[in-house]
Chain A
């Protein structure tokens, strides 16, 4: 179906989502590795509104925002459908995807960077958001059923990146005791091809997040002083 390129960085989980989707569909693509400290003219021109990765280029047409890109991939390449076929099931999958990006990602990040008095509250909020996702995976092998689907790809960051945040934030969120089904899913997901073929080395994720955490904390310290 023509030229496919991905502007991405390996440590970024929204970028991993795109690679997973393309590989599941058997779509060949060229990986254009971006240096976020020194953004390329191609990135700035392809995503002028946000200047962020990932960007998918299909016949040089740019598409940005990972959830938007996932839907485009699913609509363009019909093999191995990612979203359910039934409109009601699709609405549910989209609902949880939005919840994950709005509440879980920010919740976990918030719990990671919080310090002092606010930490306890931030941890509670993160746990509350994860509890909803636990319910959604209970009794299922994947969020998509028997095969990896759209929602598995969206939640995928919990199988690798989450653990790094827990370590850096000195918190424990996704444990087998608290969330047995989600915990089991995350171990299973990370080992399934083609997912495991594009997981960045842990040290690079540690470095990537450490930078972000220190930046946020120093910002907060300077606004409080």
Chain B
């Protein structure tokens, strides 16, 4: 089998699958996307990720499947060492990149889901505060790491750009659904600018799902979440 025999079990709606696609594109790799649906889950997905039954999954040549978006991205960076590097070179910078992604996955993703499920303004409040806090923090991180350049990774997109940037469409959708803007030019000028640069990057262009389509999808997903939470 060819070394670069690559298949991605992904979904147009998934910010996690998007992380992997951007990484593959950045490395200039050829791959096939096998589009998945949330329900029913395909036999291939259930067989490839029996532990979590979730996308993304990377199928690479004869290897057993690799799961979890950020783990897949690090794998891609380690196997295809051609430029550009996704992770920084120095251990301290790598640790910082990993730390901030862990922070985003821990705080931003959970509070986004919670705010979408919240029934009224009172219930939304703590999650809104958390989201705003995270964005304020990431604005600081961007200003520090970018050193005046377009991305967290400097001239080129790196791990934080990929991990955080892939989530932008979902932030827009959340804003539409809750009727509150969280990421705006006034409060987070650097992030607002960066989000545009990220969307326009050649490895990302055309992959970000359009807000109206994703909003419709999100509304159905919220119904599912709410039903299973009861």
Chain A residues engaging chain B, CB cutoff 8 angstroms:
49-50, 58, 61, 63-65, 67-69, 71-72, 75-76, 87-88, 90-92, 94-95, 98-99, 132
* Residues of chain B contacted by A90 (CB below 8 angstroms): 74-75, 78
Closest 9 CB pairs of A and B: A87-B78, A75-B91, A72-B95, A91-B75, A63-B95, A68-B98, A94-B71, A91-B66, A76-B91
Is there contact, CB below 8 Å, between B91 and A98? no
Chain A minimum-CB-distance residue to B67: A95
Q: Which residues of A contact B91 (CB under 8 A)?
A: 72, 75-76
A71-B102 contact in complex given A95-B71, A98-B68, C-beta closer than 8 Å: no
| A-B pairs with beta carbons under 8 Å apart, 20 shown | A49-B103, A49-B137, A58-B92, A63-B95, A63-B96, A65-B98, A68-B102, A69-B95, A72-B95, A75-B94, A88-B64, A88-B66, A90-B74, A91-B72, A91-B75, A92-B66, A94-B71, A95-B66, A95-B71, A98-B71
Which B residue's beta carbon lies closest to that of A132?
B51
List, in ascending order, chain B residues with CB within 8 A of A58's CB.
92
Q: Which residues of B contact A76 (CB under 8 A)?
A: 91
Chain B: minimal CB distance from A67 (Å):
8
A88 CA / B60 CA spacing, docked (Å):
10
Would you call B47 an interface residue if the criterion is a C-beta within 8 Å of the partner chain's C-beta atoms? Answer: no
**Per-position 1/0 for B38-59, Cβ under 8 A of A:** 0000000000000100000000
Interchain CB contact under 8 A, B75 and A68: no
- Which residues 87-109 in B have Cβ within 8 Å of A in the complex? 91-92, 94-96, 98-99, 102-103
Contact among A65, A87, A88, A91 for B102, CB-based, below 8 A: A65
In the complex, A94→B72 CA distance in Å? 10
Q: Mark B64-90, 1 if CB is under 8 A from A, else 0.
A: 101110011011001100000000000
Task: Determine if B98 and A71 form an interchain contact, defined as CB atoms under 8 angstroms apart.
Answer: yes
Q: Is the CB of B75 within 8 A of A87?
A: yes
Q: Does B63 contact A (CB under 8 A)?
A: yes
The CA-CA distance from A69 to B63 in the complex, in Å, is 28
> Hey, which chain B residues are within 8 Å of A87, CB to CB?
75, 78-79
Residue of B nearest to A72 (CB): B95
Within the assembled complex, what's the spacing in Å between the Cα atoms of A76 and B67?
26
